[in-house]
Amino acid sequence: MNNQQRPPRGKIDRKTAKSIFFRLMGYVFRYWYLFIPAIIITLLSNQLALLGPKYSGDAIDAIAASGGVKFDEVWKNVISMLVCYLVSVILSYSLSVLMIFISQKIIKTMRRQLFERLTSLPVSYFDTHPTGDIISRISYDIDTINSSLSHDLVQIMTSLYTVIGSLAFMWSISKPLILVFAVTVPVSILFTRYRAKKIRPMFHKRSKKLGELNGYAEEMLTGCRSIQAYNRQEEISGRFNKRNTESMDAYYDADYYGSSMGPAMGFINNLSISLVMILGGVLYSLSCNGAVQQGTIFFITLGGVAQFVQYSRKFAGPINEFANILNELQSAFSAAERVFRIIDEEPETPDCENSVVLDRTKGEVEFRDVDFGYAEDKTILKGISFTAHPGKTIAIVGPTGAGKTTIINLLMRFYDINDGSLTVDGTEISDITRKSLRKAYTMVLQDTWLFGSSIYENIAYGREGATLEEVKQAAKAARIDSFIESLPDGYDTVITDDGVNISKGQRQLITIARAMISNSQMLILDEATSNVDSRTEIKIQEAMGELMKGKTCFVIAHRLSTIQNADCILVIQDGRITEMGNHSELMEKNGFYSMLYNSQFN
């Protein structure tokens, strides 16, 4: 489904619901070799269940026979009825197990597609979508779809065959009695369509509110230390309660108005069965009195009336159950719509056909009159021009919000420039494959990222296939080896919850060790030593000097002591380069850099 075909956000109309249904069925038919046996089992199970009332009615006729009870026929029909019901139950159980297996394979496929698409989306998507809402789609929404596929799909197949089969049997028993359903069924259909139209937006709102609640909870739990430090627990709890109430109200509205369909449909179906029994009793009375001759369409036996009532229950039951299924389908469609919106998101612009692979990088980077803005109506960088020569260090300083990190985003091609030229080794980065471009860089950011695994695996993440000895050398260069070896499990120590069992400074040192093990020719340091103490910082600077030798380095730093030896310092203000030169040159200019430096050291 392309962008032009997407429905407006927050709305699932009939056309969209139909599209979502067929799309979900596309997942089902991927496993046709399992789904076809499921259909066969459904047909057999329901056919046997439909034969039960027939044998029951024949047994009643054998009991009410004019010459006395025909016990042989009674027992024959009773045993046949029991066998049909027993085999039908076994087949129904097998069908449920098979559909659960199919649904799990579908959900596995869908969750894999969703996660793979998330990994291919541009950074801009995550800048504009709450993490909690994305997690809600991966977990809650897909679980909702799973429940619908494993249960509702079985119910739909079963109900469809049961309704058609019951109607065929009722037609063969008494055609006049079917006229009752000619009135009640259209009423049921019209009522269901009317209520579904009203309820559909409520289920979409329910999924949306839950996503917002999860997003807020994820954000607050991430910042729990700041919340407690500023003693804002009550305010944060109040805001959570507000969102929780909104989520609860959305759930209540969807479930309340959705549940009203069941009793209403039950009343209509019970009314139809009552009318069948009344009309059937009248016809049987006329048949017994001889007013209706055998062989005419109005003739019916006592067993025929019993059969018709049982088949009418089977006929009405799925229609009544359909109201409940419809509610669950509304919820599943809303969940599927949210999942498909991510799957249908445009990934990063694909590499052009003639893209080159950046190999044996020299490390020469040039900005020429680069303009860029995250939004079309707001330009962040204006006319940026500079050249980073191979093996040189470029430091970027400036006030908060000036555009320093934006330059890093452009270097890594997390965003594409709006105007101008950005080249690496003389090649426009838009003509370089993203994979090779990003592999040419190593990044050490202010915000550390460690995953739940051993320290060895976290450091070795910097280069595939790194040996333990290489990891140890990188840790030693980062001045973190003695700490790691002091741990009970050494390099096998497992870091949990993004490294909460070690200090923030130690986490930063591990990420620096990860950078040191990389063979990239270009290095990006974004406040890489901001989380270590001054004494450790001096040691890190020595190690960083070894790391930076022969590499083109881009350093963002607020501590100007860390960049005094940079080959070129760029001063960024309001998206423009206002000063450029080395430390001595900029100090002589007595401009913004000089003022900033003196403010830190005087």
Which residues of the chain form CATH 3.40.50.300? 349-440+524-540+548-602, 449-519
Chain-centroid distance, C-alpha 568? 45
**410-449: pLDDT as tens digits:** 998 888 899 999 999 999 998 999 888 988 888 887 777 7
Which residues of the chain form CATH 1.20.1560.10? 25-343
Distance, CA of 410 to CA of 405 (rounded, Å)? 9
**361-415: pLDDT as tens digits:** 888 999 999 999 888 778 889 999 999 999 899 999 988 888 888 898 899 888 8
pLDDT score at 421: 93
**42-100: pLDDT as tens digits:** 889 888 888 888 888 888 877 876 666 778 888 888 898 899 989 989 998 998 888 88
Mean pLDDT over 522-543 rounds to: 70
Which residues are within 8 A (CB) of 545 and not within 5 positions of it... i.e. 6 or more apart? Answer: none
In 3D space, the residue among 316, 333, 319 whose CA is nearest the CA of residue 199 turns out to be 333
Phi, psi of 355 (to 5 degrees): -60, 140
Phi, psi of 14 (to 5 degrees): -60, -40
How do beta strands 522-526 and 381-388 pair? Answer: unpaired
Q: Roughly what angle, to the nearest 10 degrees, separates helices 153-173 and 175-222?
A: 170
Distance, CA of 348 to CA of 437 (rounded, Å)? 14
In 3D space, the residue among 117, 126, 114 whose CA is nearest the CA of residue 415 turns out to be 126
Q: CATH 1.20.1560.10: does it fit domain 25-343?
A: yes
Architecture of domain 349-440+524-540+548-602: 3-Layer(aba) Sandwich (3.40)
**283-334: pLDDT as tens digits:** 878 777 767 677 677 778 877 788 888 888 888 777 767 766 777 777 788 8
pLDDT score at 532: 61
Residue 208 parent element (H or E): helix 175-222
Which residues are within 8 A (CB) of 17 and not within 5 positions of it... i.e. 6 or more apart? Answer: 200, 333
In contact, 181 and 315? CB cutoff 8 Å: yes
**26-36: pLDDT as tens digits:** 888 888 888 88
User: 94-108, 344-358, 467-481, 550-564 — which is least confidently predicted?
Assistant: 550-564
Phi, psi of 322 (to 5 degrees): -60, -30
**239-248: pLDDT as tens digits:** 888 888 888 8
pLDDT score at 90: 93
CATH class of domain segment(s) 449-519: alpha beta
Distance, CA of 435 to CA of 464 (rounded, Å)? 14
